[in-house]
Amino acid sequence: MEKLNFEQLYRRVYEVVLNKHGELMYSEVATALTAEVEGLRTSLVAVADGGGGGGAFLRELLSKWRRHTEAVAAVRDMVMYMERTFIVTYRKVSVQELGVKLWRDGVVCSGDVMPRLVEAVRRERAAAAEPGELMAGVAEMLTKLRDKVLSQVMDASSVDDYSSASLEKSVSEYQ
């Protein structure tokens, strides 16, 4: 298989979109990102099932989140022409937003990750006297996934004696 550099990839995407195959290109990008997210979710669940609870699980989650955001940024750069023309014209979700949505729905909000995430956050909050770098990273990731997801995780992981005021305070400390 031919190895293509960035410029060649950009040019090929340009030609595909220019030849009125933007929908096909967009669909293939979405499919590739979905497959990448599914693979990351599967390996994350394997880490959690292998005894990587609490801090280890959160570190792995953040590592995979960073890997995912870097991959999405690289893809977005390669399909920049499609972003500026096809996506705008046909009012599609941008590649960046698509990557965030896929991560949110396919990983964080999935039935096999959300309970593990809530439990890991609960453990970290109970063990830490003050907010640490790990929880700051988790809060930042959850914030990028939208406030609803942040609230879901933080509310569900709250220890019984947390009031909504202390929850808001802890979220602001982590950001």
Angstrom CA distances, 14 to 8, 26, 93, stand at: 10, 12, 18
For residue 38, the one-letter residue type is E
The pLDDT tens digits of the residues spanning 25-44 come to 999 999 999 999 999 999 99
Write down the residue that tokens 């990448």 correspond to.
36
**171 assigned to some structural domain:** no
The pLDDT tens digits of the residues spanning 49-77 come to 887 667 889 999 999 999 999 999 999 99
**165 assigned to some structural domain:** no
The pLDDT tens digits of the residues spanning 115-127 come to 988 888 888 878 7
Query: Using CA atoms, how far apart are residues 94 and 84, in angstroms rounded to an integer?
Result: 9
Q: What contacts 135, CB < 8 A, 6 or more positions away?
A: 58, 121, 124, 125, 128, 174
pLDDT classification of 135: cutoffs 50, 70, 90: confident
Q: Where in the sequence is the domain holding 82, given as residue range(s)?
A: 6-128
**56 assigned to some structural domain:** yes
Nearest C-alpha neighbor of 28 from the set 112, 118, 95, 126? 95
Nearest C-alpha neighbor of 106 from the set 56, 136, 154, 72? 72
Q: What is the CATH number of the domain that holds 48?
A: 1.20.1310.10
Domain count, the chain: 1
**66 assigned to some structural domain:** yes
Say if residues 17 and 82 touch (Cβ distance below 8 Å): yes
CA angle 99, 16, 95 (to 5 degrees): 10
Query: Using CA atoms, how far apart are residues 57 and 44, in angstroms rounded to an integer?
Result: 8
